Chain A
Amino acid sequence: MVLKIFFPQCCNKADSGLLVGRWIPGQNSAVVLAVIHYPFIPGQVKQYIHQMRGQSGVDLTVLGSWSMPKEGQEGMESFLRDLSTIFPQGQWLQLSREMGKIGFRCHVLTRDQSKSLFASQVAPIVPYIRHLLLTRAHGVFGTVCQSEPLFFLDKYDDGPVKMTHWQSEGREGSIIVELMKQASTPVCLLTTWMLTLWTSLCSSRILNMRPMRFISSKLSTCLQLSYRTEHLQTVCSPTRATAHNHFMRKANIFVSFFVDVSLGLLLVSWMYRENRIGKLANTLVPAADHVAKELEELLQWLMGAPAGLKMNRALDQVLGRFFLYHIHLWISYIHLMSPFIEMILWYVGLSACLGLTFALSLLSDITALLTFHIYCFYVYGARLYCMTVYGLSSLWRLFRGKKWNVLRQRVDSCSYDLDQLFIGTLLFTILLFLLPTTALYYLVFTLLRLVVVMFQGVLHLSVDFINSFPLFAMGLRLFRSYRLAEGVKFRVLCEEPGTPLHLMMDINPLKVSSVVQTYRTPTYSCYPKDSWLALCKKLFLGELIYPWRHKTTKID
């Protein structure tokens, strides 16, 4: 197998010295972590390495020697070879580089016999180790991450050993990040305290009675409030995030919360200027009136001869008058509320300060409340139609002399008495001829209901999107792509003949399309839970549909 050497790029320009690192036995490769410069005392070096080994738990050894001879240092080669006797190893690497040339030369001396392997059998690889460490990518480099204590000393420090390693060129840091880290602890404590107060308030007995619970489970604003509380609790937990996934989740939640709140404040500042709230409130009541008037006209049309169809007059009149009375009730209710609407809207609109998602959930709830009568009509129409269809199917079976066996869940033949058959056939005929009327009412109200549901669905989807989109991960991928790594990639560096093969190893960042999948914040998804076929089947049978029902378990 070919011998592979992983060499940090910054040590390329280092002065001559000893190579310190680790052998990886199974893959016949060596990872170089640092170069210890002259002058050094071998005893002190051994002691230092022993200390580092204990601190970091990594199997550090002296791998060999590195020589980049400057002028007047010609005798270095033999000196370095003699070092192999001081640090006894199984294999001793001798890497050397001449000034002005790019490639290294490599000799490997084994313990039993000193021989230098052919250049073609060695393939040093020069990785861009600085960024690799930040992402902890690639199994081989777990070693580098664990050897953190090794990197505290530098060649500029006054200690027993002077080294060059990947941090010699400086670490990546930012003042804003450091300041935020300092400020985060007291802010986190304060927020955690406030959140505990809030959660204890929410779980108090008054708010947990049955009717309140039912209402709050239906209103999407309350749901959104509970999600945000949960998110904030995750972000402001005082323990530091150790795993990468945990850290990314906290960062994503924090950034999306921040963006949400700023968009919400923007919206509030726009809405409260020039008395837009007042204008909105003034248009709300006439809009509700207009909708009611349109519904009345629709019902009058249904009570006549809609689309040229001939309805059953009696049933038509009954249903039509029933729904008209409901609309009349609804309009009276709206007119009763109209003086208070502006004030309610003003105070409720302030809650949009908490975020754009709250504004959208509020809009969804207001729509639901204002179109409550459409929902009621839909339920009445659907129930009636459902009963008609079930009755018809059961009586049709009777007509053919069959029965539904509940025990066996199948259709069996059955012998009926004559009067059973007679009444059954009569009822069947009645229901059959009433079917077009009920079906038409059902169709009309279902379509109206579907329009409202679509609108609410769009709002819920956008709320879900704002909640779950990983903005921080996306930003990191676009601007600091080396921090999110999918793997590594290699590039061949063209070298002089006679030197071993040189490859540059670099980070292969995560693909943009998989960033969203990997770092999505899990939310209670409200995607349609029925497939199109199941939905059509439910519509046909008259079952009530709730296509945007929130799932009870989190979707990751």
Chain B
Amino acid sequence: MQNGDQHYSMEDETYTDIDGKAISLECQSHSGFCREFTVSSAKVSIGRVMAYTCAVWLSAYIIFFVTENTAVLSSAIIITLVGMMVHIHFVKVDHETLLIIGSLGVQVSSSYASGRESTDFIEMGKIKDIVINEAIHMVRKIKDMVINEAIHMVRKIKDIVINEAIHMQTVIYYLCILLKDPSDPEAVSSVVPLFQSSKPRLNCLVKVYKSCQEILAKC
């Protein structure tokens, strides 16, 4: 418990993302109008890292055995190291944070496995609303290859209709911020999707959505 803050993480409910992997949600309420939500995805699994490294080095050793060229081995080492550094610095997201400060704005930040943080702040004047959007996520498994296409339809959470007649498709939900142009307050100028790497499921999103709406209603 922090001083003066309410800090609770949902230990009794386990959240998963749309692929079934376990994620965790942490909500921190700093004040009546300031809340912070952190969704953490699974860490880099050591088993996969070892598997990839062994595969690459084994194939490099086989090539060396055939061609007797030592450059193959050094290039394999360099490739593995560079690939790992690129992966943890640019690809693997550790946790994503949403900080909502009433009457000031919303800050979205994602933190990568290497510690790099990428932050974006949106002023309250530009925010029209925070909603949960529904997307039809067409997943076709062709020999374990997954092809994704998303068709966006904007509807508020009350009007969700899940069409179960569509074969081999899943409906995914994502939380997003609708932005408005200050000159035209009625039109939605763009959409900023949140928690894109962690992709939590609806139960997690609903909690975040309710908290955000409470704060947005106050201002």
- Would you mind naming 9 contact pairs between A and B with Cβ atoms under 8 Å apart? A123-B34, A487-B121, A489-B109, A490-B121, A495-B4, A497-B3, A497-B4, A501-B30, A511-B118
13 extra A-B contacts, CB within 8 A, seeds A487-B120, A497-B3:
A120-B31, A120-B32, A123-B31, A123-B33, A489-B109, A490-B101, A490-B107, A492-B34, A494-B5, A495-B4, A496-B4, A501-B31, A501-B34
Is the Cβ of B3 less than 8 Å from the Cβ of A488?
A: no
Task: Report which of B3, B4, B5, B33 forms a contact with A2, defined as CB distance below 8 A.
Answer: B33
Verify if A1 is at the interface (C-beta below 8 Å from B).
yes
Residues in A whose Cβ lies below 8 Å from that of B14: none
Q: Give A2 to B218 CA distance when docked, in angstroms.
A: 10
Residues in B whose Cβ lies below 8 Å from that of A1: 103, 219
In the complex formed, the residue of B with least CB distance to A500 is B31
Known: A497-B3, A511-B118. A492 touches B30 (CB 8 A): yes
Q: How far is the CB of B218 from chain A (nearest CB, A)?
A: 9
Verify if B74 is at the interface (C-beta below 8 Å from A).
no
Residues in A whose Cβ lies below 8 Å from that of B32: 120
Closest 8 CB pairs of A and B: A497-B4, A501-B31, A489-B119, A2-B103, A120-B32, A492-B30, A1-B103, A487-B121
Q: How far is the CB of B91 from chain A (nearest CB, A)?
A: 15
Known: A123-B104, A501-B31. A492 touches B119 (CB 8 A): no
Residues in B whose Cβ lies below 8 Å from that of A4: 103-104
Known: A123-B34, A497-B3. A492 touches B99 (CB 8 A): yes
Q: Give A242 to B5 CA distance when docked, in angstroms.
A: 46
Q: Give A40 to B12 CA distance when docked, in angstroms.
A: 61
Verify if B163 is at the interface (C-beta below 8 Å from A).
no
Known: A488-B121, A503-B101. A494 touches B2 (CB 8 A): yes
Task: Report which of B3, B33, B99 forms a contact with A494, defined as CB distance below 8 A.
Answer: B3
Residues in A whose Cβ lies below 8 Å from that of B36: 492
Verify if B200 is at the interface (C-beta below 8 Å from A).
no
Residues in A whose Cβ lies below 8 Å from that of B104: 2, 4, 123, 125, 490
A→B interface (CB under 8 Å): 1-2, 4, 27-28, 120, 123, 125, 487-490, 492, 494-501, 503, 508, 511
Q: Give A392 to B192 CA distance when docked, in angstroms.
A: 57
The 0/1 profile, CB within 8 Å of A marked 1, for residues 25-47 of chain B is: 00000111110100000000000
Q: Is chain B's binding surface mostly helix, strand, loop or mixed?
A: strand
Q: How far is the CB of A449 from chain B (nearest CB, A)?
A: 35
Residues in B whose Cβ lies below 8 Å from that of A123: 31, 33-34, 101, 104
The 0/1 profile, CB within 8 Å of A marked 1, for residues 68-106 of chain B is: 000000000000000000000000000000010111100
Residues in A whose Cβ lies below 8 Å from that of B34: 123, 492, 501, 503
B→A interface (CB under 8 Å): 2-5, 30-34, 36, 99, 101-104, 107, 109, 118-121, 219
Q: Give A496 to B2 CA distance when docked, in angstroms.
A: 9
Residues in B whose Cβ lies below 8 Å from that of A27: 103
Q: How far is the CB of A117 from chain B (nearest CB, A)?
A: 13
Q: Give A125 to B33 CA distance when docked, in angstroms.
A: 14
Residues in A whose Cβ lies below 8 Å from that of B101: 123, 490, 503
Residues in B whose Cβ lies below 8 Å from that of A490: 99, 101, 104, 107, 121
Q: Give A201 to B2 CA distance when docked, in angstroms.
A: 75
Interface centre among A27, A487, A489, A492 (most CB of B within 10 A): A492
Q: Give A364 to B219 CA distance when docked, in angstroms.
A: 64
Q: Give A489 to B103 CA distance when docked, in angstroms.
A: 15
Known: A501-B30, A508-B121, A511-B118. A495 touches B3 (CB 8 A): yes
Residues in A whose Cβ lies below 8 Å from that of B30: 492, 501
Q: Give A123 to B99 CA distance when docked, in angstroms.
A: 15
Residues in A whose Cβ lies below 8 Å from that of B2: 494
Residues in B whose Cβ lies below 8 Å from that of A508: 119-121
In the complex formed, the residue of B with least CB distance to A495 is B4
Residues in B whose Cβ lies below 8 Å from that of A488: 121
Q: Give A2 to B208 CA distance when docked, in angstroms.
A: 22
Task: Report which of B3, B119, B120 forms a contact with A496, defined as CB distance below 8 A.
Answer: B3
Residues in A whose Cβ lies below 8 Å from that of B33: 2, 120, 123, 501
Q: Give A453 to B173 CA distance when docked, in angstroms.
A: 51
Interface centre among B5, B102, B104 (most CB of A within 10 A): B104
Q: How far is the CB of B90 from chain A (nearest CB, A)?
A: 10
Is the Cβ of A2 less than 8 Å from the Cβ of B121?
A: no
Residues in B whose Cβ lies below 8 Å from that of A125: 104
In the complex formed, the residue of B with least CB distance to A486 is B120
Q: Give A499 to B31 CA distance when docked, in angstroms.
A: 10
Q: Give A498 to B36 CA distance when docked, in angstroms.
A: 20
Residues in A whose Cβ lies below 8 Å from that of B3: 494-497
Q: Give A123 to B103 CA distance when docked, in angstroms.
A: 10
Q: How far is the CB of B106 from chain A (nearest CB, A)?
A: 10
Q: How far is the CB of B149 from chain A (nearest CB, A)?
A: 25
Q: How far is the CB of B174 from chain A (nearest CB, A)?
A: 23
Q: Give A503 to B109 CA distance when docked, in angstroms.
A: 16
Q: How far is the CB of B5 from chain A (nearest CB, A)?
A: 7
Residues in B whose Cβ lies below 8 Å from that of A28: 103
Q: How far is the CB of B31 from chain A (nearest CB, A)?
A: 4
Q: How far is the CB of B192 from chain A (nearest CB, A)?
A: 13
Q: How far is the CB of B109 from chain A (nearest CB, A)?
A: 7
Residues in B whose Cβ lies below 8 Å from that of A492: 30, 34, 36, 99
Q: How far is the CB of B165 from chain A (nearest CB, A)?
A: 40
Residues in A whose Cβ lies below 8 Å from that of B118: 511
In the complex formed, the residue of A with least CB distance to B4 is A497
Q: Give A489 to B104 CA distance when docked, in angstroms.
A: 11
Q: How far is the CB of A198 from chain B (nearest CB, A)?
A: 46
Q: Give A503 to B99 CA distance when docked, in angstroms.
A: 11
Q: Give A238 to B188 CA distance when docked, in angstroms.
A: 46
Interface centre among B31, B32, B103, B118 (most CB of A within 10 A): B31
In the complex formed, the residue of A with least CB distance to B35 is A492
In the complex formed, the residue of B with least CB distance to A501 is B31
Task: Report which of A2, A498, A499 forms a contact with B219, defined as CB distance below 8 A.
Answer: A2
Q: How far is the CB of A241 from chain B (nearest CB, A)?
A: 29
Residues in A whose Cβ lies below 8 Å from that of B121: 487-490, 508
Q: How far is the CB of B15 from chain A (nearest CB, A)?
A: 23
Q: How far is the CB of A550 from chain B (nearest CB, A)?
A: 35
In the complex formed, the residue of A with least CB distance to B31 is A501
Q: How far is the CB of A253 from chain B (nearest CB, A)?
A: 30
Q: How far is the CB of B176 from chain A (nearest CB, A)?
A: 19
Q: Give A123 to B105 CA distance when docked, in angstroms.
A: 13
Q: Give A494 to B2 CA distance when docked, in angstroms.
A: 8
Residues in B whose Cβ lies below 8 Å from that of A489: 107, 109, 119, 121
